Amino acid sequence: MKEMKYQQVGDYEFPVLKQEESLPNLTRFGRMYLKHLKENYKAHYLALLAENKLNDELLSMDHQMNDRYNVLVKQLMEERSVNEELKEKDQMRWVQEMNNIKNSAEETLFDEFLNIR
């Protein structure tokens, strides 16, 4: 049997009925989604928290967003002909192109996922 924990409030001790789960390790996309939920969809955030489904949703969205980001980056690299050959010939241009691609992929990702609800 588990040991019961109590929280003291004034002169009284109340049992702690529900242990709050700690957040899972999230990448930046998962953390951004959590922030987005807290700021823009408080009711949905609180409902997930009350039902103990917040961690599942955060992990799911984090995984989906990371997968989509990787796909977008690969697609944009192919469209713009950014490859190892360019990297060998002109490293500075390759870095500039990759930064542009990553920023474009992030913008597209945020439009797709964070404007859904």
* Average pLDDT by stretches of 10, the chain with 117 residues: 76 74 86 92 89 91 95 96 94 96 94 72
Whole-number pLDDT of residue 117: 43
Whole-number pLDDT of residue 1: 52
Whole-number pLDDT of residue 94: 96
| Cα–Cα nearest to 82, from 62, 57, 101, 54 | 101
| Chain center to CA of 31 | 4
Whole-number pLDDT of residue 51: 85
Q: How far is the first Cα of the chain from the last one, in angstroms, to the nearest whole number?
A: 42
Whose structure tokens read 């928290």? 49
Q: Mind spelling out the 3-state secondary structure of the chain? A: CCCCCEEEECCEEEECCCCCCCCCCCCHHHHHHHHHHHHHCHHHHHHHHHCCCHHHHHHHHHHHHHHHHHHHHHHHHHHCCCCHHHHHHCHHHHHHHHHHHHHHHHHHHHHHHHCCC
Whole-number pLDDT of residue 73: 96
Whole-number pLDDT of residue 21: 66
Whole-number pLDDT of residue 19: 58
